[in-house]
Amino acid sequence: MQLSTIILGLLLIGALLSMILFVAFGQITVKKLRKNPQTKNELGMELMSGWDVINVAQSLSLPTRLITRYRETQLSYLYANVDLLIKHTNKFDRILAALFYWILTATGFSTIIWASLETVGIL
């Protein structure tokens, strides 16, 4: 087996795992937050259907200091309110968010790097 085929297989496994975690996190945590009147409008801007799942996962996964800095910019309406999210989620929700968000991010960046290396002919 070639190295690029093995890498592609690992990327596909990462993509499949992130899809499963996307649905699980959306059904377990974000659905609960959408029903709560205090958090319903604080999940960030939904650019397309399901984008609020990624917003919530990002806010719960990134360091609070970084998210607080994002809220001070003119694009603050794009991000979820991390203070309310922490108040209305439990430890399991935050672990699930971090797991989903970092697998999604790592798979996305790795796919871009892999495709670039394949295009150039390095792999």
Q: Is the pLDDT of residue 18 over 90?
A: yes
pLDDT at site 64: 83
The pLDDT tens digits of the residues spanning 71-108 come to 788 888 888 888 899 999 999 999 999 999 999 999 99
Query: 13 pLDDT band (50/70/90 cuts)?
Result: very high
* Number of CB atoms found within 10 A of residue 12's CB: 12
Query: 32 pLDDT band (50/70/90 cuts)?
Result: very high
Distances in whole angstroms, Cα of residue 31 to Cα of each of 4, 5, 12, 97, 119: 38, 37, 27, 13, 40
CB-based burial, 63-80: b 16+ in 10 Å, e otherwise: eeeebeebbeeeeeebbb
